[in-house]
A and B are shown apart, each in its own frame.
Chain A
Amino acid sequence: MALDTVAQAVAHPDTAQPFKELGLKPDEYARIKEILGRRPTSSELAMYSVMWSEHCSYKSSKVHLKQFGEKAPKSDALLVGIGENAGVVDVGQGYAVTFKIESHNHPSFVEPYQGAATGVGGIVRDILTMGARPIAVMDPLRFGPADAPDTRRVLPGIIAGVGGYGNCLGLPNIGGEVVFDQTYLGNPLVNALCVGVMRHSDIKLAKAAGAGNLVVLYGAKTGGDGIGGVSVLASETFGDGGSTKRPSVQVGDPFVEKVLIECSLEIFAEDLVVGIQDLGGAGLSCATSELASGGSGGMKVQLDKVPLRDPSLSPEEILMSESQERMCAIVEPSKIARFLEICTKWDVTVTVIGEVTDGNHLEITWNGELIVDVPPRTVAHDGPVYNRPLAQPEYINRVNAEVINVPMPKSSAEIKAALLKLVSAPNMADKSWVTAQYDKYVQGNTIQAQPDDSGMVRIDEKTHLGVAIATDANANWSYLNPYQGAKLALAEAARNIATAGARPLAVTNCLNFGSPEDPGVMWQFAESVRGLADGCLEMGLPVTGGNVSFYNQTGDVAILPTPVIGVLGVIDDVRTRTPMSFTQAGLDLYLLGTTHSDLAGSEWAFLHGQRGGNSPEADLQNEMNLIEVLLAGRSEKIFTAAHDLSQGGLAMTITEMVLRHMVGATISLDDVANDLLSETPGRVIVAIDPTQKSALTNLCAKYKTPLTKLGTTGGDALVINETSISLPELKTAHTSTFQKLFG
């Protein structure tokens, strides 16, 4: 194909262009022509098509996401908010922490290992780009039914990919989720979270300021992988037929990324960059247009200088390639020599590809010929915005009206059978088969990891300052009531931080939904965003950034609305955290919070094929009171252990507590079946030394938190009223499921 230059575009305005194949709608194509005053060149068309894709432009979600700004609570902790590569939070002592969660759902279905691996790689580069050393990752995952044949294809590959990439980068994996549901069969969810730490003064931004500064591309060479990943793959539903789209999946090389991290941190430490951007979705199109529009406004790039793995790539392909492990830096000419020296030390390929200019033109040449001349802002930020139609789906009233009808265990034998069924269910079972494939020790700062309520890492070895992170979603509740579901997920994640004694500080989110072109899905999305924004405002937690993944839909089957909420908290001394379980007998066990009959959306209902009823309503005032109890209980050294109640209710929580160190417990419950299986939010089990009773009572009175004595620790069995289950039997039930399913 002949080179399509700006001159060609002017001379031949009527050349037919494949905008539809690139995922652009006719009106979007017309808008591009209007912006440019001519037809775009094929390179310009390539850039607009990837940058205006749903994945990059948030065109369907923007109108809703702005609530996170409008309803933002006042927070002194927020140093960098939404809009940059990741939000940054002040955690004290001069430290800043950045964290973000992103999806890599579609690629992981097509090619599980590489899809998941590059999902980790992408979010790690986002964190690095802020100037931070990445210190941990987490991965909330969702799959089709555990025994489905395709799950056996997808799950082992995804786990191996998350582990293979993260382990090789030297990042401890400190938590996540593994959840199974029929609706994820054709659309597994791979969300990846990364957290990084830096000093306040080291924060970097994506801006190309200062005319005459150099545009430097460093890292891996550019290849033909992942071309159009954001537009062709992530912004469409999967159909039954069609091509496999495998060339749209990126291929990762974690060794190159590890070297890139160390090289970049050395460059940052010497303050050699003015601005920096990683190359992720939409590759060079994204990096150049975002850097330019974030800075002086213009940039000149010689595209033929980009080092290539495949010399046959066309300019359009180079602009769209999502080859991994690449970074783009803006460097002052006086600092370029040292920059190149550090890259050479790390054997990192580095090339000056252009320079920053004044004005409003992003000009890209290919062997001297002008092939792109666009206002960068129109590519990066002025994409289309859709106010898509939304309507409450018909199922809502129908399922909300359903009455839950599940067997409730009464006799001792029934209680035991119910407990064993619950703790061995795939959603509830021990996840060691998964987490054993992840390195949780590397870097030597991991304080908590799965199966703890939250992941916790130390960030200062001398002062013992640390951060804790939890991610949660309850798609069953979101299905019944997306507004409440989002609030409840937020509350749960915050509670999971607080059980250890860390104070929740900030929120990130990964909103996974079906097709935005379905008004019902769009309503689920809008309600979820409204719920999360309202919840964050009420709890005083700013949203620092996030990610939207639409089109998680195969044919008519959309996934359950799955807003994954990540909450970050800070703890002044990790040595004094409250652990999730106890190692000794003779402690008293208490339930904080009240148990209602909340079986709708519960794991027990799910296990009996029931999906109806009404979700609980989030009572965030109660949740915040409970958090204060948990924080004070830690700092006043009242608790020996604390563990959150969530999916699987009290039955799951007490099981996890007794199995952690194989120390049993004896508890008595009034309404045994409901007390065990109900999933009323806002509850925690704490273990205390009996001498702390009055301190606990006073604390709960102060924060108006109900308190019920459950029993005591000790023995080699879990005893619930008259029912006794030996710990080995309970452990076998809880720990053998994954081994049986996935070998």
Chain B
Amino acid sequence: MRVGVVTFPGTLDDRDAARAVRAGGAEAVSLWHGDADLKKVDAVILPGGFSYGDYLRCGAISRFAPVMTLIIEEAKKGMPLLGICNGFQVLCESHLLPGALTRNSDLHFLCRDQKISIENINTPWTSSFTQGEEILIPLKNGEGSFQCDDATLKLLEGEGRIIARYVGENPNGSRNLIAGITNVQGNVVGLMPHPEHAIDTLTGPSAQGLGFFTSILNALVK
């Protein structure tokens, strides 16, 4: 099973995401932003970082990278797609997911170990978890506050499209403590915290992030 990991100029967590894909049991395939070629991958991860320096708006320029045209096309056809942190921002800018990520409420970059609860286990990225399972993974970003209008929020809540919520104090001002959401079909997931940095206790606060990567393997094998 081949999971593509995209590198834009300024992407930072690409090697970490690839490591996590391998730890989950799949093959990690590097995808270059400038290539109009998905190398026959079965799923794609848009990793964290500061693609194009976050200039204009986070994710606003990456959305127009040649590789994104193909990814958006395939995602609309059902290919599993996970955007982590900056990748989540790219997904919102691409209109694959609703809403936007804005500056953290305290206006500081925030790096900390964050507890989140998994609220939807019916996506190809979350099926290894149990409903309501609480996991501890790193949160690290400057623009992680999820915002959307009331109608969208109602829709997301009503359709069970909030896949993860922050537990405890709101770290960044996100509406309804939203840490991650999915699209209507459930194949596209955006997540602000970093599961790829919680795949072993040696380098992360837990190994509980691995569930995202075993989930996708299971989904692809089926």
Binding site for B on A (CB under 8 A): 160, 163-164, 167-170, 253-256, 258-259, 262, 345-347, 432, 435-447, 458, 461, 574-575, 743
Cα distance A347–B8 in the bound complex, in angstroms: 12
A444-B111 in contact (CB<8A): no
How many residue pairs at the A-B interface have CB separations less than 8 Å?
A: 87
A437-B110 in contact (CB<8A): yes
Cα distance A81–B19 in the bound complex, in angstroms: 35
Which residue of B is nearest A258, CB measured?
B10
B13-A442 in contact (CB<8A): yes
Q: Given A163-B109, A168-B10, A441-B194, are A258 and B140 also a contact pair (CB < 8 Å)?
A: no
CB distance from B87 to the nearest CB of A (A): 14
A437-B19 in contact (CB<8A): no
The 7 closest A-B pairs by CB, nearest first: A255-B53, A170-B12, A444-B16, A441-B197, A168-B50, A441-B138, A437-B109
Cα distance A617–B81 in the bound complex, in angstroms: 61
CB distance from B12 to the nearest CB of A (A): 3
A255-B50 in contact (CB<8A): yes
Cα distance A543–B77 in the bound complex, in angstroms: 60
21 A-B residue pairings within 8 Å (CB atoms): A167-B50, A167-B140, A168-B53, A170-B12, A254-B50, A254-B53, A255-B55, A258-B10, A259-B9, A259-B10, A346-B9, A435-B111, A437-B108, A437-B109, A437-B111, A438-B111, A441-B111, A442-B197, A443-B15, A444-B19, A444-B204
Q: Point out the residue from B109, B140, B203 that lies within 8 Å of A447, measured CB to CB.
A: B203
Residues in B with CB closer than 8 Å to A259 are 9-10
Cα distance A262–B15 in the bound complex, in angstroms: 13
Cα distance A253–B52 in the bound complex, in angstroms: 11
Cα distance A258–B8 in the bound complex, in angstroms: 11
Cα distance A509–B127 in the bound complex, in angstroms: 51
Residues in B with CB closer than 8 Å to A169 are 12
B39 at the binding interface (Cβ < 8 Å): no
CB distance from A348 to the nearest CB of B (A): 10
Using A254-B50, A432-B112, A444-B204 as known contacts, list a sample of 16 further A-B pairs with CB atoms less than 8 Å apart, ordered by residue number in A: A168-B54, A170-B13, A254-B53, A255-B10, A255-B54, A258-B12, A437-B110, A439-B140, A440-B111, A441-B111, A442-B12, A442-B140, A442-B197, A447-B202, A447-B203, A574-B202
B49 at the binding interface (Cβ < 8 Å): yes
B140-A441 in contact (CB<8A): yes
Q: Given A255-B52, A436-B108, A441-B111, are A446 and B9 also a contact pair (CB < 8 Å)?
A: no
Residues in B with CB closer than 8 Å to A435 are 111
Contact with A along B179-222 (1 / 0, CB 8 A): 00000000000000010110000111000000000000000000
B203-A458 in contact (CB<8A): yes
Residues in A with CB closer than 8 Å to B52 are 255
Which residue of A is nearest B48, CB measured?
A442
CB distance from B121 to the nearest CB of A (A): 25
Residues in A with CB closer than 8 Å to B53 are 168, 253-256
- B-side interface residues, number (CB < 8 Å): 30
Cα distance A168–B53 in the bound complex, in angstroms: 7
Cα distance A439–B193 in the bound complex, in angstroms: 12
Interface centre among B52, B194, B203 (most CB of A within 10 A): B203
Residues in A with CB closer than 8 Å to B202 are 447, 458, 574-575
Q: Given A255-B55, A445-B203, are A436 and B9 also a contact pair (CB < 8 Å)?
A: no
A436-B112 in contact (CB<8A): yes
Cα distance A554–B29 in the bound complex, in angstroms: 56
Interface centre among B49, B52, B194, B196 (most CB of A within 10 A): B49
Contact with A along B30-53 (1 / 0, CB 8 A): 000010000000000000111011
CB distance from B131 to the nearest CB of A (A): 27
Interface centre among B34, B48, B55, B109 (most CB of A within 10 A): B109
Cα distance A444–B199 in the bound complex, in angstroms: 9
CB distance from A547 to the nearest CB of B (A): 27
Cα distance A169–B110 in the bound complex, in angstroms: 16
B9-A347 in contact (CB<8A): yes
Cα distance A160–B142 in the bound complex, in angstroms: 11
CB distance from A178 to the nearest CB of B (A): 15
CB distance from B91 to the nearest CB of A (A): 20
Interface residues in B93-113 (C-beta closer than 8 Å to A)? 106, 108-112
A255-B9 in contact (CB<8A): yes
Interface centre among A170, A254, A438 (most CB of B within 10 A): A170
CB distance from A131 to the nearest CB of B (A): 19
B12-A444 in contact (CB<8A): no
CB distance from A634 to the nearest CB of B (A): 16
Which residue of A is nearest B205, CB measured?
A441
Residues in B with CB closer than 8 Å to A437 are 108-111
Residues in B with CB closer than 8 Å to A458 are 202-203
Residues in A with CB closer than 8 Å to B15 are 443-444
Cα distance A461–B200 in the bound complex, in angstroms: 12
Residues in A with CB closer than 8 Å to B34 are 345
B109-A164 in contact (CB<8A): yes
Residues in B with CB closer than 8 Å to A436 are 108-112
B50-A444 in contact (CB<8A): no
Residues in B with CB closer than 8 Å to A743 are 106
Which residue of B is nearest A457, CB measured?
B203
Q: Given A255-B52, A255-B55, are A167 and B197 also a contact pair (CB < 8 Å)?
A: no
A442-B16 in contact (CB<8A): yes
Interface centre among B110, B138, B142, B196 (most CB of A within 10 A): B142
Cα distance A168–B10 in the bound complex, in angstroms: 7
B203-A446 in contact (CB<8A): yes
Cα distance A168–B58 in the bound complex, in angstroms: 12
Residues in B with CB closer than 8 Å to A441 are 111, 138, 140, 194, 197, 203-204
Residues in A with CB closer than 8 Å to B54 are 168, 255
B13-A167 in contact (CB<8A): no
Which residue of A is nearest B49, CB measured?
A170
Interface centre among B10, B15, B48 (most CB of A within 10 A): B10
A160-B50 in contact (CB<8A): no
Which residue of A is nearest B52, CB measured?
A255
Residues in B with CB closer than 8 Å to A443 are 15-16
B111-A439 in contact (CB<8A): yes
CB distance from B50 to the nearest CB of A (A): 5
Residues in B with CB closer than 8 Å to A346 are 9
Q: Given A346-B9, A442-B12, are A258 and B111 also a contact pair (CB < 8 Å)?
A: no
Interface residues in B1-21 (C-beta closer than 8 Å to A)? 9-10, 12-13, 15-16, 19
Cα distance A345–B110 in the bound complex, in angstroms: 32
CB distance from B120 to the nearest CB of A (A): 25
Residues in B with CB closer than 8 Å to A446 are 203
B10-A160 in contact (CB<8A): no
Which residue of B is nearest A442, CB measured?
B12
Cα distance A723–B9 in the bound complex, in angstroms: 57
Cα distance A170–B110 in the bound complex, in angstroms: 15
Cα distance A442–B141 in the bound complex, in angstroms: 11
Residues in B with CB closer than 8 Å to A167 are 50, 109, 140, 142
Residues in A with CB closer than 8 Å to B10 are 168, 255, 258-259
B197-A444 in contact (CB<8A): yes
Residues in A with CB closer than 8 Å to B110 are 436-437
Interface centre among A439, A574, A743 (most CB of B within 10 A): A439
Which residue of B is nearest A172, CB measured?
B111
Cα distance A491–B9 in the bound complex, in angstroms: 42
Which residue of A is nearest B196, CB measured?
A444
Residues in A with CB closer than 8 Å to B112 are 432, 436
